[in-house]
Homo-oligomer: A and B are copies of this chain.
Amino acid sequence: MTVELICVGTELLLGNIVNTNAAYLAEQCAGLGLSCYFQTVVGDNGERLSMVLRTAMDRSDIVLLCGGLGPTEDDLTKETAAAVCGRELEMHEPSRTALERYFADRGMEPTQNNWKQAMIPRDSIVLDNHNGTAPGVILETEGAKVILLPGPPNELVPMFEESVAPYLETLSGQVICSRTVKVCGVGESKVETMVKDLIDAQTNPTLATYAKTGEVHIRVTASAQDRKTAWKLMKPLVKELKNRFGNDVYTTEEETTLEKAVVDLLIANDLTVSCAESCTGGMLSARLINVPGVSEVYKTGYVTYSNKAKRKTLGVKKGTLQKYGAVSAQVAEEMARGTALGTKADVAMAVTGIAGPDGGSEEKPVGLVYIACNVKGDVTVKKYQFSGSRSKIRESAVSAALILMRRCMLEYFSRVTFGKKD
C-alpha cells in the first residue's frame, strides 16, 4: 500500500520553518508498513494545491495532507480537497459544539471565522482535535483515501497517534515494529563490517545502521500481523547483535541516551562523579545534568580553561604545565586526580584539548584532545584526534568522555567482582 505526503504552507516554501511534520509522518507511515514514494510541499493556493492533490490521488492509495486547516481565508486545504473529491461542505454539529466548548474552556470568544473550521465535507470521517480548533478529516473516495491534518505539530502528532495510526493499521492489516541497539565507541565502518552478513541475509526483520557522534545505532525492524509476533521475530536478531558487540551495546531502549546510560550505571553502583573541563568548557557536566535524577550522583564540576585555573582549582603542577603543555596526557591525569581529591568523587573526569580554530601547531594540531578518567584512584588517559569545527570537536570530545567513563567503570566492576570471587 502506498502513501504520499502533501504539506501545505507558504512558510515552508520560504524556508522560514523546517518541515519536521514530513519527517514525523514519513517515519510513522514507514513504521506502519506503508511505502512512501513522494512528498510535496505547496503553498496556500487553491489551483496549485488541486493540481498536486490530483496527481497524488492518481498514483497513491493514501494521501496525507497537513496544514491549511486554520480559520483564516488563506487556509483552503479543506475547501480544495472537498472540491477535488466532489463533496460539499456542511456544518458538522459535533465539531461546532466542540469549538464552542474549546473557546468557553479558555474564557475566549470565537470569531466569525472560526465557524468555518466546523464545516466538513459530506460523508467524511471527522477526527477530534483535543489541542486546537481544526478537526481532522478522512475522505474515502473510490480511488485514494485523503486524510487532512492540522499543521501545528502539537495538534498533528496527537491526532495522528489517536486516530490516524489505528485507521491506517486497519487498512494495511499489518504492523511494523522497531527496536534500536545502540553501540558506542565503535566506528561506523567497523560496525557495518561486523553486521554485513546479517544485512546481506535480511528479509524480515531488516537491519539498518545510523551513525551519531561517537555512536552507531542499529535499527531492527519487523513486520507482522500483530505487535507480539513482530517482537518475537526481532528477539533473536537483537540477541545476536548484543552478542557481537558485547559491552559496547549501552542500551536497547529507544529513549535511553548515552548520558542516561552512564548516569544509570553510577546510580546502580552508588558511585559519585565530578568533572574538570578545559576545551569542552562545561559541556560534559551539562550533558550529564540533562538526565533527571542526576543529583543523586553528581558532585561538582570545574571549568578550568586557563592554566592558572588548572593550577589553582585542580592543583595541576606548574612544572607539568611547563614541561608537557596544557594539552597533554600528564595534565589530563593531574586534572582528574585533583578533581577526585578536591571533591571526593568516586569517578573524576578531565578533558583538555585544542578546539580551534586557532591555537594548533604541527606537534599539537587543532582537534587534539586528552581525556582522563579516574575511578577510585585508577586513572586511564586516552588521546584523541577529532576533526571539524570548534563546536563539532567539543561535541565529539564530550561523547568520547562519556564512552571512556562508561568503559572504565565497567572494567572497574569486572575487577572488583573478580576480586570478590577470590
Contact = CB atoms under 8 A, between A and B. Distances in A.
Nearest to A272: B306
B22 A38 contact: no
Interface stretch (A70-78, A83-91, A228-236, A277-285): A277-285
A295 interface: yes
A13 B52 CA distance: 17
B14 A18 contact: no
Contacts of A210: 16
Contacts of A380: none
Interface string A384-407: 000000110010000000000000
A299 B289 contact: no
Contacts of A313: 300
Nearest to A301: B303
A5 B182 CA distance: 34
Contact of A282 (B40, B277, B292, B312): B277
Interface stretch (A41-49, A132-140, A144-152, A156-164): A41-49
Contact of A303 (B23, B41, B42, B300): B300
A27 interface: yes
Number of copies: 2
A40 B43 contact: no
Contacts of A412: none
Interface residues of A, number: 68
Nearest to A48: B37
A36 B41 CA distance: 10
A294 interface: yes
The A interface is mostly helix, strand or loop, or mixed, namely mixed
A30 interface: yes
Interface-central residue, A39, A306, A308, A390, by most chain B CB under 10 Å: A39
Contact of A26 (B14, B37, B300, B356): B14
Contacts of A41: 22, 38-40
A290 B281 contact: yes
Interface string A179-211: 000000000000000000000000000000010
B13 A39 contact: yes
A295 B306 contact: yes
B285 A303 contact: yes
A24 interface: yes
A358 interface: yes
A114 B149 CA distance: 44
The 6 closest A-B pairs by CB, nearest first: A301-B303, A282-B282, A281-B289, A15-B27, A15-B26, A282-B285
Interface of A: 12-20, 22-30, 36-43, 45, 48, 52, 55, 210, 275, 277, 279-286, 288-290, 292-295, 298-306, 308-309, 312-313, 343, 356-358, 390-391, 394
Given A282-B289, A298-B306, 15 more contacts: A15-B23, A15-B24, A16-B23, A18-B23, A38-B40, A281-B286, A281-B288, A281-B301, A282-B282, A282-B303, A292-B357, A295-B305, A299-B306, A300-B304, A301-B302
26 contacts: A12-B26, A13-B39, A14-B26, A14-B27, A15-B27, A17-B23, A18-B19, A19-B22, A37-B42, A37-B48, A38-B42, A38-B52, A39-B41, A279-B289, A281-B282, A281-B301, A282-B282, A282-B283, A285-B303, A286-B394, A293-B358, A298-B305, A299-B308, A300-B306, A301-B301, A303-B303
